Amino acid sequence: GHDGVNNMFHVKAQSPVALRYNDKSVLENMHCAFAFELMKENEETNWLSLMNTSFAMDPKEKPTDLRQYLRRAAIEMVLATDPTKHNALMDDLKALIQAKSIQAEGGLSDAKQKQDAFNVLLHAADVSNATRKLPIALYWSRQVLLEFWAQGDHERSLGLEVSPLCDRASGMASVPQGQIGFIGFIVRPLYQQLGLLLPEILQAVEQLKKTEAYWQQKKEENANFLE
Per-residue pLDDT, 103: 62
Per-residue pLDDT, 61: 84
Per-residue pLDDT, 168: 96
Per-residue pLDDT, 107: 63
Those residues of the chain that have pLDDT short of 70 are: 101-109, 226-227
Per-residue pLDDT, 147: 97
Query: 130 near 212, Cβ under 8 Å?
Result: yes
Per-residue pLDDT, 111: 87
Distance, in Å, from the CA atom of 33 to the CA atom of 18, rounded to the nearest integer, reads 13
Convert the chain into a string of H (helix), E (strand) and C (coil).
CCCCCCHHHHHHHCCHHHHHCCCCCHHHHHHHHHHHHHHHHCHHHCHHHHCCCCECCCCCCCCECHHHHHHHHHHHHHHCCCHHHHHHHHHHHHHHHHHHHHHHHHCCCCHHHHHHHHHHHHHHHHCHHHHCCHHHHHHHHHHHHHHHHHHHHHHHHCCCCCCCCCCHHHHHCCHHHHHHHHHHHHHHHHHHHHHHHCHHHHHHHHHHHHHHHHHHHHHHCCCCCCC
Question: Diameter of the chain by CA atoms?
Answer: 67
